[in-house]
Amino acid sequence: MTTLALPELPALVPGTVRHQRRGPIEHGLRHAVYQWLVDLDDLPRLRRPLRWVAGFRADDHLGDPERSIRDNVLAFARAQGVDLADDTRVLMLANARVLGYVFNPLSVHWCLDPRTGATRCVVAEVHNTYGERHPYLLQPDARGSASTDKDFYVSPFYDVSGSYRLTFRLTQERVAVSVNLHRGGDTGGAPDFTASFAGAPARVTARRLSRLVLRHPLMSQQVSLLIRAHGLWLWARRLPVQTRPSHQPPEGS
């Protein structure tokens, strides 16, 4: 188990998202974004008008929309066999609702031991542009890395095969997540696709949030639009589209 030295929460995490796709059409992207790192027991409470760019709702994430995000994360982890105490602390890295809209390609939930602060597990919740979501239960090693089979259709240019190697970093100075897709199943070789986010967490203030909103207006909307724009770029270059199978959410999600 890994013990974390945490930043002050809630935190804004301005940073950079990167994607790299390898063969048959090489394609990469790099965009400046910001995300939120929040304690699900103490979500941000902001005054208007900033309240409209910092919304968090249970129905945007896994589980029962009538329960809290935290309760749903704990219920999923327990359904997957992780025995978590009722007072487990859960931190989430995600986009917030902006003017009533949110899109999270990946939301990360760290479940922390309430006494030691050690990471008991991580729930990585993936969303696709078809309105579907799929959480993965992970138990990272001392370096913050974990592997899992791919079980969810995300990009229309990849089928549901292969495995992921994920790495999570959460410190006072840096928040980083990387996802490597290995379609051959060997997570030791070069990945077919890599997605990553890295940034430096900073305490939430009205001034800091206002600057980020001015620099990146409609953050969630931009994320959704950019994903579709890059997809159209690949489609226009005749990259074959893979059939989307029916999705079976895992137990507890």
Looking at the DSSP assignment, which residues form a beta bridge with residue 155? none
- Rounded Cα distance between 90 and 38, Å, is 9
- Rounded Cα distance between 64 and 81, Å, is 19
DSSP per residue, 77-100:
HHHTT----TT-EEEEEEPPBBTT
Tell me the pLDDT tens digit for each residue of 29-55: 999 999 999 999 999 989 889 999 999
Whether 188 has a pLDDT exceeding 70, the answer reads no
Beta 202-203 vs 11-21: how paired, if at all?
Answer: antiparallel
- Confidence (pLDDT) at 187: 58
Contact 32, 222 (CB under 8 A): no
Torsion angle, CA of 125/56/94/98, rounded to 10 degrees? Answer: 120
Question: Span 211-225, mean pLDDT?
Answer: 95
Tell me the pLDDT tens digit for each residue of 118-162: 999 999 999 999 999 999 999 999 999 999 999 999 999 999 999
**182-190 CB contacts, 8 Å cutoff, 24+ apart:** 183/158, 187/147, 187/163, 190/22
Beta 145-149 vs 163-170: how paired, if at all?
Answer: antiparallel
- Residue-averaged pLDDT of the chain: 93
130 part of a folded domain: yes
- Confidence (pLDDT) at 252: 81
Domain count, the chain: 1
Whether 200 has a pLDDT exceeding 50, the answer reads yes
96 part of a folded domain: yes
Percent of the chain at pLDDT > 90 equals 89
Whether 2 has a pLDDT exceeding 60, the answer reads no
Looking at the DSSP assignment, which residues form a beta bridge with residue 189? none
2 part of a folded domain: no
Which two three-digit tokens encode residue 32? 């400046």
- Domain with 54, as residue range(s), is 11-236
Name the helix (H) or strand (E) containing 112: strand 106-112
Q: What separation, in Å, do the N-terminal and C-terminal C-alpha atoms of the chain show?
A: 24
249 part of a folded domain: no
The label of the residue with tokens 């390609």 reads 105
5 part of a folded domain: no
- Confidence (pLDDT) at 184: 74
Whether 92 has a pLDDT exceeding 90, the answer reads yes
80 part of a folded domain: yes
- Using DSSP, state whether 163 is helix, strand or coil: strand
Which two three-digit tokens encode residue 47? 């005054």
How confident is residue 1, by pLDDT bands cut at 50, 70 and 90?
A: very low
Nearest alpha-carbon partner for 134 in 169, 100, 98, 160? 160
246 part of a folded domain: no
